[in-house]
């Protein structure tokens, strides 16, 4: 359990018993999911759709809770993982805190072995932490950072993930050459690469980010984005990064001025414009027609 040192972790026996019982219900291993990833700025998603920091350290390292299980009263208790401590010449307590860290390779998952004393102490600390989602002592004024994984729900989710991955891999594996090259255009890859290279890239994405892949192939995005990419490659249209707009190459007339704000690429934004704007379908059909005819809009 949490080590009592001076004012630190001075919990009532009732609360300690409650925590011990809770930990026993977790079994031998408990896992926590830290929501610390961010979307990959590389829109090819070469290393996956999300990336994690090399090292994340949970804060605060010490905090106060109201121990309502104290018999006949409520007391404020300071909680911390104590790594080392000593008293100075004035008998003042000097504490070194042990910190909860998650490295990039753990992909946001902290696994604790509850038969290990240090892990067991960490588990108690996390159960009392103000940034745990849905926790009894969670601070409503703080954004939750982590949550304990429900193993049954996780098992169900993993089964669903495997099913999605199988379907995605089957779709990728059955793609014909024209479909692979269209997909590459939609991802803003070089679609002129050797077919085996493109097939490997598509299947890799289907395997590593199955839901994203499945959502993409089931939408109109492939059709629209590939048409835009092909039109740019054939100089039917071009993108002006200075004014963040697409223009007709033949007469330099503006097709659409996009917002530079947000994480989506200009290709994604223009695809969205063509699918949602009033004249989007008309412009899209014109782009396809000119690209097929290999012509440009004249002045």
The secondary structure of 227-273, three-state, reads HHHHHHHCCCEEEECCCCEEEECCCCCEEEECCCCCCCCHHHHHHHH
> Does 127 reside within a domain?
yes
> Does 110 reside within a domain?
yes
Pair 145, 224 in one domain: no
Pair 22, 117 in one domain: yes
In this prediction, residues 5-24 reach a mean pLDDT of 91
**What is the structure's pLDDT at 129?**
97
Contact 145, 53 (CB under 8 A): no
Q: Which of 100, 131, 149 marks a domain boundary?
A: 149
**What is the structure's pLDDT at 225?**
95
> Does 205 reside within a domain?
no
> Does 163 reside within a domain?
no
Pair 144, 224 in one domain: no
Residue 69: CB atoms within 10 A of its CB come to: 16
> Does 239 reside within a domain?
yes
Contact 120, 1 (CB under 8 A): yes
Taking the C-alpha atoms of residue 180 and residue 146, their distance in angstroms, rounded to an integer, is 39
Residue 149 structure tokens: 């994984």
Q: What is the mean pLDDT of the chain?
A: 91
In this prediction, residues 283-294 reach a mean pLDDT of 91
**What is the structure's pLDDT at 299?**
47
Pair 263, 135 in one domain: no
**Number of structural domains found in the chain:** 2
Sheet holding 29-34, edge to edge: 109-113, 29-34, 146-148
Q: 224-249 pLDDT, tens per residue?
A: 999 999 999 999 999 999 999 999 99
> Does 269 reside within a domain?
yes
**What is the structure's pLDDT at 298?**
57
> Does 32 reside within a domain?
yes
Q: 75-134 pLDDT, tens per residue?
A: 899 999 999 888 887 888 888 999 999 999 999 999 999 999 999 999 999 999 999 998
| 242: containing domain | 220-299
Please determine, for residue 156, whether its predicted confidence score (pLDDT) is greater than 80: yes
Q: Number of helices (H) and strands (E), helices first, in the chain?
A: 9, 14
Please determine, for residue 297, whether its predicted confidence score (pLDDT) is greater than 80: no
> Does 60 reside within a domain?
yes
Q: Which of 108, 133, 149 marks a domain boundary?
A: 149
Put simply, whether the predicted model's pTM sits higher than 0.85 gets the answer no
């Amino acid at each position: 359990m949490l080590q009592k040192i001076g004012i630190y972790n001075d919990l009532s026996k009732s609360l300690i018993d409650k925590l011990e019982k809770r930990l026993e219900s977790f079994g031998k291993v408990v896992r926590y999911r830290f929501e610390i990833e961010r979307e990959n700025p590389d829109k090819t998603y070469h290393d996956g759709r999300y990336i994690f920091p090399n090292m994340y350290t949970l804060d605060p390292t010490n905090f106060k809770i109201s121990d309502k299980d104290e018999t006949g009263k409520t007391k404020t208790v300071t909680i911390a993982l104590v790594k080392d401590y000593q008293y100075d010449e004035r008998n003042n307590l000097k504490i070194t805190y042990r910190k909860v860290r998650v490295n990039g390779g753990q992909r946001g998952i902290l696994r604790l072995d509850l038969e290990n004393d240090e892990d067991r102490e960490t588990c108690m600390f996390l159960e009392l932490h103000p940034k745990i989602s849905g926790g009894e002592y969670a601070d409503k004024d703080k954004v939750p950072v982590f949550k304990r994984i429900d193993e049954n729900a996780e098992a169900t989710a993993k089964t669903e993930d495997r099913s999605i991955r199988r379907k995605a891999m089957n779709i990728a594996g059955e793609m014909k050459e024209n479909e692979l090259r269209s997909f590459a255009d939609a991802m803003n890859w070089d679609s002129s690469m050797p077919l085996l290279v493109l097939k490997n890239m598509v299947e890799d994405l289907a395997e590593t980010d199955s839901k994203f892949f499945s959502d993409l192939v089931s939408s109109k995005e492939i059709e629209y984005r590939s048409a835009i990419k092909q039109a740019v490659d054939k100089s039917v249209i071009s993108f002006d990064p200075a004014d963040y707009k697409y223009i007709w190459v033949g007469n330099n007339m503006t097709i659409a001025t996009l917002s530079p704000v947000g994480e989506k690429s200009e290709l994604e934004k223009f695809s969205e414009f063509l699918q949602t704007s009033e004249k989007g379908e008309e412009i899209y059909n014109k782009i396809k027609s000119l690209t097929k005819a290999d012509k440009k809009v004249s002045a």
